[in-house]
Each structure stands twice: as structure tokens, then as C-alpha cells.
Chains A and B, each alone.
Chain A
Amino acid sequence: MKKYKKKYLALLDIVITEIVSQKLQVSLIKDYITKNNGDLVFYSTENHSTFQNLNILRHKIKEKIKVDGIIFYSLLQFCYSKRNNIHLMEQILDKKIELTFIRENITLKNKLQLKNKIIEIKYFPKTHNSLIYNLKKNFLKTLKK
């Protein structure tokens, strides 16, 4: 019997692109998917107006996308807004869609796994404060050009 292949949506980090190019992010994500015997069905990215509120991701979730998992380049993508986006993670997991963060090598398959990592996820933006600030500053400079 043919083994079921998981389908993934990749959501690239637009803010970090100048350092980690989209091509490299895709390559790293594909590498993860290959190792996990899955298929990348689609990839997308936020833009200058949505990178903080993750509206493109929110829209995808509302669209009822048929994927088993969403792969992000980094957990940083959930930290560009002052508001914590943990609630959004819960919404995605409620839909039985797993979350993977390549840079941090973390996969959350359900809300229990999220709960077990919650302290680290909550402290992640605090401990990455200056990196997030500088990445955002660098990203937003392109708007001034």
C-alpha cells in the first residue's frame, strides 16, 4: 500500500529575506519536507502591510486550505507584531494542521505540544528583542527608498 504523503504549505519570512534569501528558505523547507516524506503544495509570504498581523496566513486558514502542515522559516514570523500571536497558532492547530519552524527545529502537532512549549514561545520574542527590532528596521527601510 502506498504510504500517505503529508501536504505542506510553506510560509516564508519576508522580513529576513535580505539575510536568508527566499530561495534559501525554500530550499531548507523542501529539505525538511523531503526528509519527512511529504509534498510542498504551495508557498506564500506576507508583505509590508501584513508581516505584523499575519493577515495572509489568517486568510489562508479561513480559506480552509487542505494541508497537513504549515512550515515557517522561523518562529520570528510570529513575533514582528507587539501582540502575541499564540492564539493564531491555537487556531491553526485546532484545524488539525501542524506547525513547523525550520530555524528553531520545532514541530507542534497539537495544542498539548504547544502547551508544553508555551513558556519558551512566550519568552522567545523577549530574548530576541534586538534581533526582531533590527530585522524590522532593515525591512522597513525599503519603504523609504
Chain B
Amino acid sequence: MYINKELKSLEKKGFIKTNLDPKTLKNFRKFKSKIKKHCSTMLKNKSFSFENFHKIPIEDIKLNNLRLSLIKSFSADNNLNETVYFSLKKLIDACVGPDIIVQKSCNLVIQRPNDINRSPFHKDAPANSNYEIVIWLPLVDCVGTMSMYMFDVENHERAKIFLRKQNSEKEIDKFCKKYGKLLNYKFGEVLIFWTNNYHYIPVNREKKTRWSLNLRFKNLFTPYGTKNLLDYYQILKTSPLTKLLNSIEKV
């Protein structure tokens, strides 16, 4: 019943805020500890904390190198993709079906307070497939501007028209405050959204650094955008019928 309600909401708005399966939370905590350890070693900082990361003086280039090395470290470990999938299995299965592919490497975003470097106001499709969902998973509690604005499907046209103009930062902020939804997320809560939903990441004006992951799932057989199997996605699971067909198809 709970899932049905969430699916209806997703169908109506294009996004939902939901919880990771509590049974899998310990895996995510373990994963966080691994990142923490990696950062402590790389930055030679024993008292490393995610939220206070911005207090460590680090140049943008070094920050990006740290981010890339973290992505590389958890890309080597397929468990993360699987952990995210199994934690949201019912919702993902209901959205994309039984033959599932997943982004090969999970993205990590580190947003320090007042850092203006961030993605613009955009939607992922059609560069990404229209038949795809994005899981946005904060690694720290995100309040206020540590979060991101999501736009209901009903505001899709309005956002599309707005983005045709050259807008200043102020105008974008004003537009997003008026039509977007900025929800707070605790660690263990996630945002699931359709690639066709507009979203906007404001400048983080809080006093803590935001750490978040994003990962995409789609069906193996639905149309692709500019990103495709093996260059961007890998197979996570296939249905019994696909397995059967695969076993009799000639190599």
C-alpha cells in the first residue's frame, strides 16, 4: 500500500522523497565510514568530518581530484550500486521493470558553503534517457540550501519557457523559490526523480558541506539518450525471459 501511494505521487509529480530500506542503512553507514577513512588518509586529517569539510583549506583542483579518487574507489566496488538498488528495490522495479541497467559509476557531489561551482538549472533528459530515474542520496543531513529545488511535472512548461531567456542568478533564484520545492533530507532519506524533471542546485548558504550521491537506473530495452550500455550503464539484473533468450541466442 505504501509503495502504491509513493508510485502515484511519483507518477503525478515526477519525483518523491522516500526512505532507504532501514535494513540496508548499516551498509550505507559502512560505506560512509569507508569514504571518511579514504578522505582522512588523502587529506592527512585524522579529525575529518563530512559536514566540516569546508574548514580544510583545499584548492578546487585538489577537491576535484579527491572527488574523482573517491568515485574510482567506489566504482571498483559494485556493491554500492547493488546496495542502492536493494534498498529501493520495490520502487525501482515498479518504475523500470525487470531488466535493469545501472550507471557504471555513481556520482559524488561535494558542495561547500558559498561555493558557486554547481550544475545549472536543468533536466537530465533527453541527453539521458526519458525512461530513466535518478536516485539522489545525501550522505549528510541536508537542510535549506544544502538541498535542491525540484519542479513538479505541472511546472515543466513554465520552466522550459523560463530557460529560453537569458536569466540572471537572481532571477533564477526567484523563479525557483516561487515554483520549485526545496525539501529537507536526513541521511537515510532519498529523492527519486524522473530524468525529465527540472531541478536546480542553489548555492549552499548553510554552514555545513553537502555530500551527496546520484545514481541512475533504466530498463535495458527502453530507448536510450546519448549515453548507452557499457559506455555509461552496466547490467544489474535480467528477467527470466531475457536469460532464456540469451541462453539460446547464438554468439
Interface residues of chain A, those whose CB is within 8 Å of chain B, are 75, 84, 86-87, 103-106, 118-124, 127-128, 131
Contact = CB atoms under 8 A, between A and B. Distances in A.
Contacts of B250: 84
B251 A127 contact: no
A131 B231 CA distance: 13
22 contacts: A75-B230, A84-B250, A84-B251, A103-B231, A104-B230, A105-B231, A118-B251, A119-B238, A119-B246, A120-B229, A120-B234, A120-B235, A121-B230, A122-B249, A123-B220, A123-B235, A124-B230, A127-B224, A127-B228, A127-B229, A128-B228, A128-B229
B228 A123 contact: no
B68 to A, nearest CB: 13
Nearest to A121: B230
Main secondary structure of the interface of A (DSSP, over half): helix
B220 A127 contact: yes
Interface residues of B, number: 14
Contacts of A131: 228
B224 A122 contact: no
Contacts of A86: 251
A103 B249 CA distance: 26
A107 to B, nearest CB: 13
Given A84-B251, A120-B235, 6 more contacts: A104-B231, A105-B104, A106-B230, A118-B251, A122-B246, A131-B228
A65 B163 CA distance: 56
